[in-house]
Amino acid sequence: MSVVAQIKASAVKAIASLYNVELQEKDILVNATKPEFKGDYTIVLFAFVKQLKKSPDALGNELGNKLISENSELFSSFNIIKGFLNLSITDSYWNHFLQLQYHNEHFGIQPSNGKKVMVEYSSPNTNKPLHLGHLRNNFLGWSIAEILKASGYEIVKTCIVNDRGIHICKSMIAWQLFANDATPESTGIKGDHFVGDYYVKFNDEYKKQVEALKATGVSQDEAEREAPIMKAAQQMLVDWEAGNAEVIELWKIMNGWVYNGFNTTYQRIGSNFDKTYYESNTYLLGKDLVESGLQKGVFFQQEDGSVWIDLTADGLDQKIVRRKDGTSVYITQDIGLAEQKQKEFGCDQSIYVVGDEQNYHFKVLKLICQKLELPSADQIYHLSYGMVELPTGKMKSREGTVVDADDLVDEMVNIAQQKTIELGKVKDFTEEELQQLYDTIGLGALKFFLLRVDPKKKMIFNPEESIDFHGFTGPFIQYTYARIKSILRKSGTDAVSAIDGYSSSLLPLEKELVILLETFPSIIEEAATEHDPSKVSIYVFNLAKTFNSFYAEHSIANAETESKKTLRLQIARFTAQVIKTGMSLLGIHVPERM
């Protein structure tokens, strides 16, 4: 049980004994004591002053004395400041906690809770390579899945690939027109980049044709409709849906090139899935649910035969779920896929990691699933995140101004190499060790920078800023971890012995570190509850920063006594382990040396 949970339980018991009032632990608000006051944890008294008919000072004194008299092994002293009861925890408690946990490699990881969660992320289109926005999506999805797993959930990671539609037809038409049978193999270009290049070529040619038509006096709208290359792409989509053998064969070949490229990128960035769905297999799903919804009165049919749902009573608007020609729209497919996933995996929650431009779509999806009374409709959760921009501004796929994920990773690794060489501490590394270190630092910097921000916020990604060995960055934390591992190696052993007895008094920075370490499980729980990996990012950074302050102030190798040396080695080992676990939840490796 965490120290905060113990404080709450002790306070509930003390209040029942003193005032014969039964409170619940959730009624007790406990915060870390502000640095300017003496104490470790603070109970906020205002919440029940009125109920107990006591002044804050009287209540604080009576409660404080009761807590100390009945929990002397936990509380050493208290003080009251304007309605806040500040409690000091005994050094013996922290020493005992340290002895129990400093060698626990699974500290913070919870046992199975018997619940299953699906996390869907990535969701790329097969007309272009993964880009910077996909990186934030992948890192968020993968990380929240790992955080939930650490909180005791069974996890299913899924991806839906948008492998059909007008976008892939554009790339296919452009390949037919301009490629001269070129392939990724014949050109040496990675498959997803190769196909993406033809998507850009399509739009370049489309613009030319629109301008040429406008020069003949045609309006902008008509030119956009009548451009031959656009009409060819639209016809190809019709042929694909009709099952035209030649079109299907080219579609399979070009998508195969893209999948090979995607897989290479996923492997490099450490992203993986338990199940991949393809829109070409799911786009007809949901049609039976439309019929069912019509019979139940959830949907209504217009005179032209199209089917709609009226969500105005829910503060939204009317939404089409089937066109007049009987074809599905995106929301219909998503309803059908939600039902299929539930039948297949029976998850207690389904999390969709999708950008905030789709907020409305997911409100509608959840509402429709609820009105259709689909199992677990209430558990649909949209993990909405803000877009990533570069210092130069927004990116556009059609204009070829998107930063490809592969190119960005390469750039990050190159910056990591330059920065590491500047530090000049890796002269004894082999070439293979150096390359692995550059990859570890570069990818770590990229992931940490994209995960350290609350997902809901838009952000600007600056590659140079993300690899600063002294800033709020992944490399700063990686360097701290490597530093601790070096300290432990120089001490002669990683297996630090236990201290006899628990009487050793803790200096302020020693205590601050141990208190911070103790909160790690609650940080994981908070990040899981709020679906926010930035909670872990900020915590691990603060832990690394606090350790550096501690190490600058207190020698480990030349500690005042042997017991102090052992204590500090234990704190160092525990800190390294928590950093490693915390960074692993973000998908970031920590090097033993750097």
The CATH number assigned to the domain holding 52 equals 3.30.1360.70
Residues 456 and 551 in one domain: yes
Please, what is the average pLDDT of the chain?
93
**What is the percent of the chain where pLDDT is above 70?**
96
Does the residue 541 lie in any domain? yes
DSSP string, 457-492: S-EE--HHHHS-TTSSSHHHHHHHHHHHHHHHHHTT
Does the structure show a pLDDT above 90 at 313?
A: yes
- Phi, psi angle pair for 277, to nearest 5°: -100, 150
Handedness of CA 120, 125, 128, 131 (dihedral sign): negative
Residues 551 and 420 in one domain: yes
SS3 389: strand
Last residue of a domain, one of 236, 268, 300: 268
Which pLDDT score is estimated for 465? 87
Residues 85 and 231 in one domain: no
The model carries a pTM of: 0.92
Q: What percent helix, strand, coil does the chain show, rounded to 5? A: 55, 10, 30
Q: Identify which of 134-138, 282-286, 459-463 has the greatest average pLDDT.
A: 134-138
Query: For 590, what's the count of Cα atoms within 13 Å in the CB-facing half-sphere?
Result: 27
- Give the separation between CA 51 and CA 46, rounded to whole angstroms: 10
What type of residue is 220?
Answer: Q
CATH number for the domain including 490?
Answer: 1.10.730.10
CB 443 within 8 A of CB 270: yes
Q: Identify which of 321-330, 461-470, 584-593 has the greatest average pLDDT.
A: 584-593
Residues 424 and 569 in one domain: yes
pLDDT digits (tens, 9 = 90+) for 563-575: 899 999 999 999 9
pLDDT digits (tens, 9 = 90+) for 444-497: 999 999 999 999 999 988 888 888 888 999 999 999 999 999 999 988 765 556
Does the residue 95 lie in any domain? no
**pLDDT category of residue 400 using cuts at 50, 70 and 90:** very low
- Give the separation between CA 262 and CA 268, rounded to whole angstroms: 10
What type of residue is 586?
Answer: L
Does the structure show a pLDDT above 90 at 68?
A: yes
Residues 171 and 259 in one domain: yes
Cα–chain center distance at 166: 31
Alpha helices, DSSP H only, in 278-404?
A: 279-282, 287-296, 330-345, 359-371
Rounded to 10 deg, the angle between the 474-490 and 534-553 helix axes is 40
Does the residue 311 lie in any domain? no
Q: How many domains does the chain have?
A: 3
Q: What is the mean pLDDT of residues 257-277?
A: 97
**What is the percent of the chain where pLDDT is above 90?**
84
**pLDDT category of residue 499 using cuts at 50, 70 and 90:** low
Which pLDDT score is estimated for 399? 47
Distances (CA, A) of 406 to 180, 194, 264, 410, 582: 26, 13, 9, 6, 26
pLDDT digits (tens, 9 = 90+) for 179-217: 999 999 999 999 999 999 999 999 999 999 999 999 999
Which pLDDT score is estimated for 398? 45
Residues 84 and 174 in one domain: no
Segments forming the whole domain that contains residue 220: 165-268
Residues 68 and 195 in one domain: no
pLDDT digits (tens, 9 = 90+) for 345-367: 999 999 999 999 999 999 999 99
